[in-house]
């Protein structure tokens, strides 16, 4: 396994209230960012180590994008300030060095996904979906009629919905607060060609509204989702009720962040391969355990989110 190594901060910019975009480049003598940019798959994450000696555990962040820019490879993470670690991270200035380790975990299975791919994201789960969406778009061949539709839920003002618009055929956003909706309208005034729907509520309210309005084609559909656990649980239920295979990127409280401490275990359904996304098309997405010490009971099994995930077939999870 790769050892943690330093990276250099290119930008650490507040892009929405309490939400920062962190752009990293290789620092002198380290090719960690180059390695991540070359290897990373959408859905994987990076462990970020803080400089303060009192905070030894890494903070995991989903990879929002990897860029091969003229000035060298760039790794983009988007994070919200929620506690002491992210508060400290937000104070780091461009030019500072930071230690990171990645890419970690297993990402989304991107093929085959079917004709209608729904990217369902909530809050900080949206930036990592941008990376997935870009990869899917890049892999489409001319004449491919796959449609990419994003359903994005925000607590307040939207961010990254414009970015998703670069790769999706349609982007629908929803905010839980009226102020967020106002911002959304401003942001999208110029994008007359991108239909959108503004409703006060959650991303599942948005999905229900789009279905009832006949604006969401669920034929041969699949779902990639990332966001808070209650949202993922709702997505899993909705997907099951519609018979749509879904892959979800889970968040679990982590310790080591690379498989050594069993701090991030979740319960999954054991034994037989689980029918999922692409199982209907011949690929089995069941997750084998990364570690034989994990419980493998006839009715319940354990998996490590940091090593076996963070992306799992929705129907594999004991919610």
| Binding residues for ligand FES (CB under 6 A) | 254-257, 259-264, 304, 306
Closest C-alpha to 238, from 137, 118, 144: 118
Angstrom distance (rounded) from CA 319 to CA 300 = 12
Choices 73-81, 130-138, 268-276, 286-294; region in contact with ligand FAD by CB under 6 A: 73-81
| Residues contacting residue 88 through CB under 8 Å, at least 6 positions apart | 50, 51, 52, 55
Which helix (DSSP H) or strand (DSSP E) does residue 21 occupy? strand 19-26
Q: Considering beta carbons, is residue 279 or 290 the nearer one to ligand FAD?
A: 290
Residue among 107 and 245 whose Cβ is closer to ligand FAD: 107
| Six token digits for residue 50 | 């803080």
86 binds ligand FAD per the rule CB under 6 A = yes
| 128 near ligand FAD, rule: CB under 6 A | yes
Residue from 12, 26, 49, 61 in contact with ligand FAD (CB under 6 A): 61
Secondary-structure percent of the chain, ordered helix, strand, coil, rounded to 5: 25, 30, 45
Handedness of CA 258, 302, 285, 171 (dihedral sign): negative
Please report whether residue 4 would count as binding ligand FAD according to CB under 6 A.
no
Residue closer to ligand FAD (CB basis): 244 or 254 = 254
Closest distance to ligand FES from the beta carbon of 105 (Å): 9
Is position 262 an interface residue for ligand FAD (rule: CB under 6 A)? no
260 binds, among ligand FAD, ligand FES, none (CB under 5 to 8 A by kind): ligand FES
In the complex, least distance from residue 107 CB atom to ligand FES, rounded to whole angstroms: 16
Q: How far is the CB of 124 from ligand FAD (least distance, A)?
A: 4
Least CB distance to ligand FES at residue 307 (A)? 6
Say if CB 109 and CB 44 are below 8 A apart.
Answer: no
**Cα gap 129→248, rounded to integer Å:** 11
Q: From ligand FAD, ligand FES, none, which one binds at residue 256 (CB under 5 to 8 Å depending on kind)? A: ligand FES
Q: How far apart are the first and last CA of the chain?
A: 31
Cα distance between residue 150 and residue 225, in whole Å? 10
CA 127/CA 11 separation, integer angstroms: 16
Say how many residues touch ligand FAD, by CB under 6 A.
21
The closest alpha carbon to 177, from 229, 215, 123, belongs to 123
Reduced to 3 states (helix: H, G, I; strand: E, B; else coil), residue 150 is: strand
Which one among 4, 24, 41, 59 touches ligand FAD, defined by CB under 6 A? 59
Min dist CB 281 to ligand FES, Å, is 30
Identity of the residue, 231 or 306, whose beta carbon is nearer to ligand FES in the bound complex: 306
Residue ranges binding ligand FAD (CB under 6 A) = 45, 57, 59-62, 78-80, 82-86, 124, 128, 251-254, 310
């Amino acid at each position: 396994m790769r050892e943690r190594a330093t990276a250099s901060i290119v930008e650490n910019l507040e892009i929405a209230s309490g939400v920062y975009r962190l752009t990293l480049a290789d620092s002198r003598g380290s090719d960690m960012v180059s390695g991540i940019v070359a290897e990373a798959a959408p859905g994987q994450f990076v462990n970020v180590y803080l400089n303060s000696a009192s905070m030894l555990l890494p903070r995991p962040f989903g990879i929002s994008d990897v860029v091969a820019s003229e000035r060298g490879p760039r790794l983009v993470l988007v994070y919200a300030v929620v506690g002491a670690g992210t508060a400290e991270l937000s104070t780091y200035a461009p030019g500072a060095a930071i230690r990171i380790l990645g890419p970690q975990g297993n990402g989304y299975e991107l093929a085959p996904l079917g004709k209608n791919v729904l990217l369902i994201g909530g809050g900080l789960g949206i930036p990592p979906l941008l990376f997935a969406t870009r990869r899917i778009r890049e892999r489409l061949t001319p004449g491919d009629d796959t449609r990419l539709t994003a359903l994005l839920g925000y607590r307040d003002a939207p961010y990254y919905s414009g970015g998703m618009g670069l790769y999706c055929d349609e982007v629908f956003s929803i905010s839980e607060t009226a102020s967020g909706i106002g911002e959304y309208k401003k942001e999208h005034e110029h994008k007359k060609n991108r239909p959108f729907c503004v409703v006060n509520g959650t991303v599942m309210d948005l999905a229900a509204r789009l279905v009832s309005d006949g604006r969401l084609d669920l034929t041969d559909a699949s779902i990639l989702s990332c966001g808070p656990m209650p949202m993922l649980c709702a997505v899993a239920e909705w997907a099951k009720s519609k018979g749509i295979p879904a892959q979800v990127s889970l968040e679990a409280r982590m310790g080591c962040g690379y498989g050594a401490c069993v701090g991030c275990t979740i319960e999954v359904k054991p034994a037989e391969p689980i029918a999922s996304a692409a199982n209907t098309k011949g690929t089995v997405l069941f997750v084998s355990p990364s570690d034989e010490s994990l419980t493998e009971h006839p009715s319940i099994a354990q998996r490590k989110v940091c090593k076996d995930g963070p992306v799992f077939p929705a129907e594999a999870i004991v919610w």
